[in-house]
Amino acid sequence: MPVSQPSPDTWQHSTTPRTSIVVLTGGGPLAWIIINAVIGTFGSVTVLEERPEPMRLLFRRRLKKLGAITVAGQIAFGVAQRLLRAASRHRLRSLIDSEKLEPTPAAACVVIPVASVNSDDCQRELVRIGPTVVLVVGTRMISRATLACVTAPFINYHAGVNPKYRGMCGGYWALASGDPEHFGATVHLVDHGVDTGGILYWQRVTQARDDNFVTYPFRLAASGRNLVLRAMDDALSGQLRIIESTLPSQQWYHPTLWGYLRTGLRRGVW
């Protein structure tokens, strides 16, 4: 993976005149951390927020692809994750405060609810607005029809290093795999695959000793904000450039409860 990118920590956006930015998102604190960073730099954006996908559809796909035992383990982990989230409440608040993260919806932007990123109403809004760039943060897979309805590039923030940790929980899986060198975030173009589009920026992130599954995504978002800002500036000024990667490609899913416990006990990765 290339490491010669300009440091996003020292980046300042250009004076290129700004045009419209649309954000596609499923909402939530992590998405708003990224969205608020974009608003703080580029001004108000239009947010198209999709409704959550019905869990029965998600589980149906997972059952077909992963099998009943793995899906049962993922459901069990989801229950345990609620307990972990409650136990990590103070740690998470400390991280949010120290990194000056803004996880709540901004008042200075328009939020338009849509059925999904692939629905007719979402596509109509995109055509109506005619954005220069579309930022994607935490949505379901985007269809070919949505990607083709406007000429703007679709740029995704991913909490993991692509293509090695595509899919879900990329930061966790890097650490669980004994690969802290690739605990990081990626910003990439959206294509028809799962986090397979051309990489625009990536950055390794250092986790704190007391981080865990709950705080990893917030730790990554704190650094990933600047990657998104660079990519937005590149898109608005017509200077998007793809970087090459020699990393292997793999898609990951949520851990099972027993896999999570085994990794925690063996590697101390919680």
pLDDT for 13 equals: 54
Q: In this predicted structure, what is the pLDDT of residue 109? A: 85
- What's the pLDDT score for residue 91? 96
Place of tokens 């596609």: 24
pLDDT at 180: 96
Average pLDDT per block of 10 residues along the chain, 270 residues long: 43 52 97 97 95 85 92 96 96 97 90 97 97 97 97 98 97 97 98 96 95 98 97 96 96 97 96
Specify the amino acid at residue 171. G
The pTM (predicted TM-score) of the whole model is: 0.90
Look at residues 236, 240, 238 and name the one whose alpha carbon lies nearest to residue 42.
236
CA distance 104 to 234: 26
Query: What b/e sequence results for 214-249 when a residue is b if at least 16 CB atoms lie within 10 Å of its CB, and e otherwise?
Result: bbbbbbbbbbbbbbbbbbbbbbbeeebeeeebeeee
Name, in order, each residue with C-beta under 8 angstroms of 213's C-beta and a sequence gap of 6 or more.
81, 84, 169, 172, 260, 270
Q: Which domains does the chain have, with CATH numbers?
A: 18-267 (3.40.50.12230)
Phi-psi region of 197 (alpha: psi -120 to 50; beta: other; left: phi over 0): beta
Neighbouring C-beta atoms of residue 24, cutoff 10 Å: 27
pLDDT of residue 213: 98
Token pair for 113: 């609810």
